[in-house]
Structure 1
């Protein structure tokens, strides 16, 4: 053994540990220690120490691959939780809004249609409408409104023809007479 490496203690020699092995004290909760012993026995380990050593080595390898670095990603997790809360609030607001009311709250949506060059508003609006992105939103709002108006007998729908303003009852009587 070189002088740079730690020397084996007298106790480690007396108990028969090899020169590459050392003693490390661990003071876990008693319940955890019992669970670890049970797991070690169930998995066929000769001792709890060998079982724990292997678990530690596996955890170290996983951490090096980035799987266990929660503390390093804690700020990212918090940021994502804030985004989830914000999206939930927006969803709730959208569900509580009037049919046909459209609100654009995501800056990414609007900035998608901008370039490094200045563009007048009508050109930006043209790009937004041409993209088809709003089609679903507008379609749902218009469809909801049409069904509401149909329930109030203000519009009518006929299969194969579509929608129209409902006939005024007075007009129908005149036509029938």
Structure 2
């Protein structure tokens, strides 16, 4: 029997754990412990212990499937990881719009046109469209998208000519 368990043979009952449950001590950096605690809280886990348990089980499943780096597959795995990251970025950009299109008008643009005086919908729309703020917002969005497309080898830029679409297979 573990010396710690012999101190208090009914420790599971005191802590409220089910039969068949045991504890495992691990040693780590304090910074790791703090990070795991924060991650557990952010993900809604009731405890750091439950969070770490789930991570261990998940790691075992990944290892059992031989998902990572079989000999000769590392290039394909890297490509898949990059594609996953691209898709995560795409999802982040498209969030918030019911039809999947990014929101062109952000609340700050509308709020910037409101004042203490009442204005009709048409007056607000005209004011927003006439302002430099919408043009600057659109320019920033287009620029971000163009650089994302370059990163994904779907567009290219040439000084003196501008931007162009790169069909798949041409990059």
Q: State the TM-score, normalized to the length of structure 1.
A: 0.33
Specify which structure has the bigger relative contact order, considering alpha-carbon pairs within 8 angstroms and separated by 6 or more residues: 1
Q: State the TM-score, normalized to the length of structure 2.
A: 0.34
